[in-house]
Every structure is written in C-alpha cells, then in structure tokens.
Chain A
Amino acid sequence: MTECFLVFALAIALGWPLGRYLAAVMRGAPMRGDRLFGAVERPLYRLLGIDPAQGMGWKAYAAAFLASNLLVGALTWIVFMTQAWLPLNPNDAPNLRWDLALHTMVSFLTNTNQQHYSGQAQLSHLAQMTGIVGLQVVTPMMGLALLAATLRGLFGGRVAAGAAAPGGEADVGNYWADVIRPTVRVLLPLCLVASLALTWQGVPSTLQGGPVAVPIDAAAGMPAQKIPVGPVAPMVAVKQLGSNGGGWYGPNSAVPLENPTPLSNLLEMLAIVLIPVAITFMVGAFTGRRRLTALVFGTMLTMSLASAGAALWSESLSGTSGDVALMEGKEVRFGAAPSALWAAVTTQTSNGSVDAMHDSMAPLTGLVTIADMLINAIWGGIGCGLQQFLVYLLLGVFVAGLMTGRTPELFGRKIEAREVKLLAALVLLQPLVLLVFTAITLALPSIAGTSNPSFHGISQVFYEYTSAYANNGSGFEGLGDATPWWNLSTTLVLLLGRYPALIVPLAIAASLARKRVAPEGPGTLQVETPTFALTLIALVLILTLLQFMPVLVLGPIADHLALRAL
C-alpha cells in the first residue's frame, strides 16, 4: 500500500513540471539550457541535412517516420545477425538466427520489447548498447513526435512564420526536430540520472562480461557459477523510462542484478509511469487548453486506480492470496503487493517490464493485465497512449453526438464520414488481428507451444498476441515462443499494432485541420467535463467487453474458476 501511494504521488508530483517542460520542448519555445542543448542538436541537424524549422504536411511527416524506421530497423537487424564477429562480445554470444533477429528488431522498433531471447546469454554488449538501447531511446520519442503532430493537426496545424507546409496541407511540425529535441532535452538526461541511481542500488555498470565464481558448497554439485554483468544500468534506465520493457536479463526486473532492492523497485516503477503521466500534463500546456489535461488526466487516473486496485486485491487480498503458491515466480525482496502493482502499471503504460512472472500470478491478476493491454490508453505508451485515447475521444464524441442528435464535432471541427471510416477501420483491426491469430495458433497445438494445460494455455496464447498488438512486451513467459511461427506471426502483429495506431490519428487530425472551425455555442457538446469522462470510460469498457468477452471467459475467468475448484 505504501508503494502504491508513493508511486502515484511521486509520478503526479514530478509529472506535472515534467509535462510542462515537455510541452515547451515540443513547441520549440526558447528555454534555459538552449545553448547547451543547441550545441548537441545543431551538429545532428547538419548530419541529417535538414532545417528543423521547416514545416511538414502530415503525409511528409508520416513518410519521414516510416523511412527512418525502415533504415534504423535494417541497421539493427544487421547488428543482431553479425554480433559474433563484432567487438564487445565478452560472453561469446553467437549471431541470432534471421527470424529471431527479425522479431527482436521489430519488437524493439515498435517500442514493444517482446523478447523471444535471453539477453544475458544471447546478445553481445555491443548489440545491447547499440541496437537495443538505441531503439529504446529513439522509439518512444518517435511516438511522442507523432502525438505532437496529431495535436497540432487537431487544432488546425502549426501557425509558424512560414504558415502552411508545401502542398496546402496543414503544417504539423518537423518530424526530425520532434524526435531529436525531446531525446536530447528530456529522455537522455533523465536516463543518465536513473542509470546512476540504479547502479548505486546494485545494478551492474561495466564493460566486462563477469567472472566465473567458485560456489561455496562444493557438495551442492555446481563447480562454477558465471555471474553475467555488463553495461546493465543504462539499459534498465531507458527500459523503464521509455515505455520499453525489454530487460537485460531474461526474467527482466525480477532478476536481483537488474532490480536489487525494494528502493530500486520503487524507482523502476516510478520510471514506468513518469513520462506517460507527464504527457497528460503536456497535452494541456501544448494545446493551450488546460481543461483538456483535466479530461485526459482524470479519465486515465480513474481507470489506472481501478486497475491497480483490482490487481492488488486479486493478488494480495482476495481469497486466492492465501495460496501456498503465492510466491511462485515472485521475489522475496518485493513480495505480493508490490509485484501486483507493478503488473498493473506495466500493462497500463505499454511498458511490459516485469518484476514477477505473470504466468504464475492469480488468474484474475492475469485478467487485469490483459484488460489493461486491450484498452492500452490507461496512460499508455509514450505518445501512442494518447493517440489511442484520442481514438476513444473521437469515438466518444461520435457516439454522444448520435445519442443527442447533434452533429459530432471536436474542438469546433466536424467529424464526418471520412474520419469515422478511418476510426472504424482502426478499431476493428484489433479484434481481427488478435482473435484470428489466437484461433489459428490454438487450432494447431503443435505450433502453440503452451506450457500450461487447459484454460491457462488459452490465456498464454491470447496474452502473447495481445501484448504484441499493444506493443507492451510482457508475456506469460512459459510459452515456447522462440520458434519461426511465433517469431514471424508476432512480428506481423507488432507492426499492425504500431504503425496504424500512430498514423491513423494523425491522418484524421490532418483531415480535421482542413475544416472550418465553428465557434462553440450553447449547442456544442462539452467534452472536458466529468460527465463526458464517465461516458468515455463506459465506452472504453463496453467496446473492450463486446470484442473480447468470449476469449476472456475461456482464458483467465475459466482459469480462476478452475483454481477455486481445486
């Protein structure tokens, strides 16, 4: 309980100033530190050969996003497949097989960090420091950039000195500057501080591969124990802060070397929620509508507390908390309640790091984590969480407009057939992808690779695809997922979960930006009110239940009933 209070109180207290700072960074406003940060940024812009002040239309912006993803992905894929021949490989990790390398690359490129490999044994220090950490730094900032562009579009585009971008499209900003500015001014400085704090608590920070220890009791039958170390702390810092989640070690932050103390656990949990919470404060300052922050923050906090409360209750207070198996998959230095809280916040924020094995948690805790990922907008990942929230917001306005018989409009701009069609396609993509892939995999037991029998096996498969589509990355890790089927099918799901979810809201915003603004009158639907926030929460719940109730009953709910019957 203390942890729960501390995590939320600290995230809100620090997220408020951080969000306002983020807004200034994304607006390109003059600020203290311009000389220092400018000295870092200017050479980068020169290397890119771009003018950071140049505006872009939404299509150019999206093209830059996709092209930069393609090249950084290709480069990373090559590193993974050639790491054995490259330097800084003290533990002699072999090259990754092409399909595992592809899945790993796409998984980190989509800010998911689903892992079908174990880092301590299968990646070289160089691969971790360049491919893994590089993507963990840049992909959340790409998500943030897309959000900034979408918000600019929603309010008619940037009114910079140059006015509209070429081609008559609304100017939604400069993609390159939107990625580089927050990376240099926000994420990397935060990561440096977090990395040092984690090393202080015991997370390794060295270029060596680690010694082979000679254990104390020779009678126990283990003549040698390799202690895997490396530049772990910088990676864990950005893993937690950047809604990434992929750990240095296979079992992630459950490993004492990755998360050594209750204090490091608290810091890592705070790092999970910090930037996603800050973004809700950024939104108001960035758009100049404080009440928008109130709507976003209030809605997300309500859902977050409900989900965290449900996980805490299920894992540490309900009838199943007396189970002798309670500590299976958990670490003694954390215990049940902090592990449950972590499970809730890591799935709310599209982070996906874990400090206990979700596979071994109570079935209803599993239900909470799956529901968090299906909604994927309770804070959500950096940038993508707000994009998903905007999708729900537009749907909410549309549905409320239908119910009250008014033309649906958001911020004075009419939502018409084109926008609703795009929204519908995006919303329907989720059940289509998740249910079809889950059904195919379950129909072929030889490829499913489930490690637990019965209903929990269904949960394992559904969890894996849900996590991939939500770009979360956590898993019911007993699943035998390092196979070509799992690597390739989840690669596709990862891509489908990332790019449409970021680009479609931008396209809708750009389409709205071209419309005339109708002044708000007494007949206008007020969205920034508690009534509408509750309507929105109801819509999110109903939508999720309508689409996924059957599979949730077959998976975690049946699993819970089976546990009760034991």
Chain B
Amino acid sequence: MNTSAANPNLWRASLALALITLLGFGLSYSLLATGAGRLLFPVQAAGSLLERDGRVIGSALVAQPFADDRYFRPRPSAANYDAMALSGSNQARTNPDLRARIDAARAAVAAREGVTPADVPGDLLTASGSGIDPHLSPAAVRIQIARVARARGWPVAEVERLVAAQLEAPQGGCWGRRASTCWR
C-alpha cells in the first residue's frame, strides 16, 4: 500500500501537530492554568513565601539550616538546604557510608539535646528525599524543646505551648501523619 497516497498531508499535518503540541497543548494550557491558579490562590501560587519587615525570609515549604541553639533543627539535607540543588542522598540501605553517617548524627544529636542515643527519632538522623523537608515528627520536635527553652531563657511549658500550636493535625482527620513545621 502506498503510504503517502493515503496520507497526502502527512508532513504538513505532522508539522502542524508539532506546533499545536508545543504552543497549544503546552504553552497555552500552562499559561491558562497558571493564571487561574494565581487568581484563585495568590499566596500558594507565589510559593508560600514568608516575609518579615517586607523581606522574604523563606518559604513555608522549604527547610532552612539552623545552627543557633535558640532554634529547632530541621532534618539533615543531602543538598545543604540549597533549593536549587535539591537532592536526597540516594544511599542504599546496604551502603556503609549511610550507616556511618547515621551513627555520627545519632551521637551528635544525642549530645546536643542531652538524650540517650536510642531516644533520637529516625527522621532527625536521615536525609529527606527532597533535601528541603520542612517537617519533623512530633518526637523529633519534642527532644529539642528543653535545649531551645534553655537557650532562650523561656519556661519549658511556654515552648511546649508554642510547639503544640505549630503541630499540624492529620488532614481530613484520617490520613497523613502528624507533623510539625519546625523552623520558626
């Protein structure tokens, strides 16, 4: 069978479909959806940015590094909290480097928070998938409360109250884990 006879417009149609794909299905759809998203949800659309004194100090969805004892520490990051270099460690469970890193982190966290190594929750010892996981398990927040209260000279109960207010309830009451944005 003669293919070109059955498809007299094969190349014209192909070129047109290519242009429609990039400019119509791709660009026009993206612009339409982006515009509608900005209109309906301006805060989320901009990246859930947080501002203080008119300056952007971060995003609620991006973890930052903290060193001062007055702050809660986030999860370890394989990308050094660089949101342009996002990455997990991609180390396998059987990789000796992963085990060594976890052991070192466990000793460091236990010493810093004044708890026994066995009490350090796993999420404080492991690098997240994104490198900017802004959440901590409630247990990982709890072991940091005493240190933060001491460094700030605040009563422990006051810090506990603030932490409880930051704790996110499971969505819809049924799925998702209780988690807390830790870094404020």
Contact = CB atoms under 8 A, between A and B. Distances in A.
Same complex for A and B? Answer yes
B152 interface: no
B32 to A, nearest CB: 7
B15 A251 contact: no
Contact of B175 (A6, A50, A131, A233): A6
Contacts of B60: 202
Interface string B7-36: 101111111111111111111011111101
B176 A205 contact: no
B61 A251 contact: no
Contacts of B162: none
Given A67-B11, A75-B22, A120-B84, A331 B130 contact: yes
A191 B129 contact: no
B132 interface: yes
Nearest to A179: B17
Contacts of B85: 118, 121
B44 A137 contact: no
Nearest to A254: B129
Contacts of B36: 192, 195-196
A215 B11 contact: no
Residue among A56, A205, A211, A332 with the most chain B CB within 10 A? Answer: A332
B91 A167 contact: no
Interface stretch (A281-289, A390-398, A486-494, A558-566): A558-566
Contact of A130 (B26, B96, B137): B26
B37 A205 contact: yes
Contacts of B170: 262
A493 B133 CA distance: 34
A461 to B, nearest CB: 13
B136 to A, nearest CB: 6
Contacts of A75: 18-19, 22
A474 to B, nearest CB: 12
Interface in B33-91: 33-34, 36-38, 40-41, 44-50, 55-62, 64-68, 71, 75, 80-91
B6 interface: yes
Nearest to B1: A167
Given A251-B87, A254-B129, A333 B17 contact: no
Contacts of A200: 40-41, 44
A288 B92 CA distance: 49
Contact of A213 (B57, B90, B102, B135): B57
A504 to B, nearest CB: 18
B122 A329 contact: no
B127 A329 contact: yes
A331 B129 contact: yes
Contacts of B21: 72, 134-135, 137-138
A409 to B, nearest CB: 26
Nearest to A250: B86
B131 A222 contact: no
Contacts of A562: 94
Nearest to A216: B57
Interface string A109-149: 00000000010110000101111111101100000000000
Contacts of B83: 120, 225-228
Contacts of A533: none
B27 A134 contact: yes
B65 A221 contact: yes
Nearest to A215: B64
A330 B183 CA distance: 19
Interface in B96-118: 96, 98-99, 102, 106
B165 interface: no
Given A57-B1, A217-B66, A257-B47, A48 B17 contact: yes
A215 B65 contact: yes
B174 A222 contact: no
A464 interface: no
A451 B90 contact: yes
Contacts of B125: 324, 327
Residue among B21, B87, B122 with the most chain A CB within 10 A? Answer: B21
A146 to B, nearest CB: 15
Contacts of A166: 1, 5-6
B20 A44 contact: yes
B144 interface: no
Given A188-B25, A196-B33, A357-B88, A217 B65 contact: yes
Contacts of A47: 16, 19-20
A71 B175 CA distance: 45
Contact of B17 (A72, A118, A478): A72
A201 B47 CA distance: 11
Contact of A260 (B56, B61, B177, B183): B61
A255 B86 contact: yes
Interface in B113-162: 122-123, 125-137
A251 B10 contact: no
Interface stretch (A58-66, A300-308, A411-419): A58-66
A534 to B, nearest CB: 33
Residue among B66, B85, B94 with the most chain A CB within 10 A? Answer: B94
Contacts of B87: 250-251
Given A59-B3, A320-B93, A204 B67 contact: no
A188 B29 contact: yes
A327 B76 CA distance: 11
A219 B151 CA distance: 15
Contacts of A361: 93
Contacts of A453: 94-96
15 contacts: A47-B19, A50-B9, A57-B1, A64-B7, A128-B30, A137-B21, A192-B33, A204-B44, A215-B64, A226-B83, A234-B30, A254-B128, A357-B89, A360-B90, A360-B93
Interface of A: 2-3, 6, 44, 47-50, 56-57, 59-60, 63-64, 67-68, 70-72, 74-76, 79, 91, 118, 120-121, 126, 128-135, 137-138, 165-169, 176, 179, 183, 188, 191-192, 195-196, 199-208, 210-217, 219-222, 225-229, 231, 233-235, 237-238, 249-251, 254-257, 260-263, 265-266, 320, 323-335, 338, 354-357, 359-363, 451-456, 459, 476-478, 559, 562-563, 566
Cβ-closest 6 pairs across A and B: A262-B176, A134-B26, A478-B90, A205-B37, A254-B129, A167-B1
Given A220-B66, A234-B33, A324-B106, 6 more contacts: A49-B12, A167-B2, A196-B41, A234-B34, A261-B176, A324-B102
